[in-house]
Structure 1
Amino acid sequence: MSLHERLQRRIQRYGWDLAADRYEPLWQRQLSPAHLGLLALAAPMPGEAVLDVASGTGLVAFAAAEQVGCSGSVQGVDISEAMVASATQRAAVLGLEHVRFARMDGEQLSCAGHSYDLAYCALGLMYMPDPVAALRELFRVLRPGGRLAVVVWGERARCGWSVVFPIVDAEVNSDVCPLFFQLGAQGALTQLATDLGFEDIREQRIESVLEYADGAEACDAAFVGGPVAMAWSRFDEPVRRRVRRRYLQAISPWRVGQGYRMPGEFTVMLASKPRAMA
């Protein structure tokens, strides 16, 4: 593992620990079209064993748990200990014994091969230093004939909030998520999946609108509850004021009254592991 990859894993692990408490209030509604699209494309069946990689606070895992029922099981994994703790606590409160969560690196899954009927990775692959390794692991843990459903952010130009990355990079050499939008390019996921041996691949795009009540909410979503939370935590107040001002200026074309309606795009892919494996 290279020094760069170790740095990226550290940024993601501790950055999402910082963002965990604010993630759902700031992003659940915005990401709902992607999650619903993923679940519609690959609906869990009663009794199935489901893996949810980069599960976060369990938004997809809990929806899947409802559909597989008590005869099935859902395992959610995430690199962030705080995210896992939040999801585990909710599962306990809800009394859901068939959904469990564990801290795990998506590129090195501590799961036996041929264990799952369905695997999800909802808006997590872009954050991984080696997404090919993550897809290879997903291929390994799926049973023959098992389905993989992945969603990533789409084209950079179609995601209004994407300006947050250069704004943060101008203040600190964060190098966060260098492949973030490359995976959302037309056919990129399909090519990766094909190269790894998946078949019956389908890819589609979901256009969305990210709505924020005001500039404060838009800034919190961009800086506090998302992928640059680690860098944000290290900014002093003058830098925070500067990046907030630059971000609000960059997203001003989508201002409506006091709020914002920014474009967003997701790329969703469904693939299957061949039934006849050597």
Structure 2
Amino acid sequence: MMEARVQRRVQRYGWDLAAADYERLWQSQLERAQTRLLDCAWPMRGEHVLDVACGTGLVSLAAAMSVRPEGHVTGVDISGRMVDRARIRAKERHVSNVSFQCMDAENLDFSDGSFDVVLCALGMMYLPDPAKALREMARVLRPGGRIALAVWGERERCGWSGVFPIVDAEVASDVCPLFFHLGGEGTLALECSDAGFGSIEEYRLDTTLDYADADEACRAAFIGGPMALAWSRFDEATRAKVWRRYAASIAKWRHGRGYRVPGEFVVVRAMAPAAVRSPVRSTLEKATP
């Protein structure tokens, strides 16, 4: 297992490389999970929201629209280039009640009880110690505050998951050693319970990742995602080889020139310690055809 310090560095460099292509290749693919996340958190006018692992601000800006004008959203991410891109997007969209900082999710530099809502959309899988990050999120939430988290689901339900062994065969990347661990039935909900959260609800959402052609699908996997660092170090022959292997691994989901690759999201919502606790509920949801 890669040591935590090295894993954080790999994530920072990898997402720095992916920042320029992230929105083009992934914004539409992640929209269903992000929409459900915001619906679960229900940020309201005047509230203060923390978006952990905010990336280029896709969720942060949407939350800022919900809490304006009195409220504020703070987005944090380990990648400086992701944060820079988020600031540019906020300026372009004239959203003034949002700010972004470079910060490690496991060491949040905020006072206790600073936020009404904490969000983390598809960031928990990349953390060396997600349990520590959850304890930090609990700490910075006010009593009774709300948290909403989204992760990828079961490996077997994510058709693009073949990218990991394909890359690992070429380099000891260990990019995401526990990537699908939190997607197991009830796993993320249990982690929230262990961190002291209550009123936990879990939702499982089937989805598809739609690509215009093999080129777009491969670019999303290797250039706009967590494999970007490994890709940057491959020579041309290795790039061509992994490109072919990944395209072959998703061939069964080809529709004409395009691809409809299956995926699964898990979204969990909960309340901060001191809120009333209730049993975990799990709901399976199917994507609209």
Question: Under a length normalisation based on structure 2, what TM-score does the superposition of the two structures give?
Answer: 0.93
Q: Secondary structure at the match of 2:151?
A: strand
Corresponding residue of 1:86: 85
Corresponding residue of 2:3: 4
**1:234 partner amino acid:** R
Q: Secondary structure at the match of 2:262?
A: strand
Corresponding residue of 1:99: 98
Q: Secondary structure at the match of 1:206?
A: strand
Whole-Å Cα distance in 1 between the matches of residues 93 and 243 of structure 2?
A: 38
Deviation, 1:93, is 2.8
Whole-Å Cα distance in 2 between the matches of residues 168 and 276 of structure 1?
A: 44
Deviation, 1:42, is 1.5
Checking the alignment, whether the CA contact within 8 Å between 2:201 and 2:268 is kept in structure 1 is yes
Deviation, 1:253, is 0.6
Whole-Å Cα distance in 2 between the matches of residues 178 and 203 of structure 1?
A: 23
Q: Which runs of 5+ in 1 are unaligned?
A: none
Corresponding residue of 1:139: 138
Report whether the alignment pairs 1:114 with 2:110: no
With over 3 angstroms needed to count, the CA separation of the structure-2 counterparts of 1:232 and 1:40, relative to structure 1, is same
The residue correspondences of 1:1-278 to structure 2 (distance < 5 A) are: 4-275=3-274
Whole-Å Cα distance in 2 between the matches of residues 246 and 3 of structure 1?
A: 25
Deviation, 1:274, is 2.8
- 1:78-128 CA-to-partner distances (Å, cap 9, x unmatched) read 000000001112222333221000000001111111000000000000000
Whole-Å Cα distance in 1 between the matches of residues 28 and 91 of structure 2?
A: 23
- 1:192-242 CA-to-partner distances (Å, cap 9, x unmatched) read 111111100000111101000000000000000000100000000000000
- 1:58-86 CA-to-partner distances (Å, cap 9, x unmatched) read 00000000000110000000000000001
Whole-Å Cα distance in 2 between the matches of residues 143 and 106 of structure 1?
A: 18
Whole-Å Cα distance in 2 between the matches of residues 95 and 60 of structure 1?
A: 16
With over 3 angstroms needed to count, the CA separation of the structure-2 counterparts of 1:257 and 1:3, relative to structure 1, is closer
Checking the alignment, whether the CA contact within 8 Å between 2:108 and 2:136 is kept in structure 1 is yes
Whole-Å Cα distance in 2 between the matches of residues 3 and 90 of structure 1?
A: 34
Q: Secondary structure at the match of 1:83?
A: helix
Q: Secondary structure at the match of 2:3?
A: helix
Q: Which runs of 5+ in 2 are unaligned?
A: 277-289
**1:245 partner amino acid:** R
Q: Secondary structure at the match of 1:109?
A: coil
The total of aligned residue pairs comes to 276
**2:114 partner amino acid:** S
**1:223 partner amino acid:** F
Whole-Å Cα distance in 2 between the matches of residues 199 and 247 of structure 1?
A: 41
Moved over 6 A (4+): none
Question: Under a length normalisation based on structure 1, what TM-score does the superposition of the two structures give?
Answer: 0.97
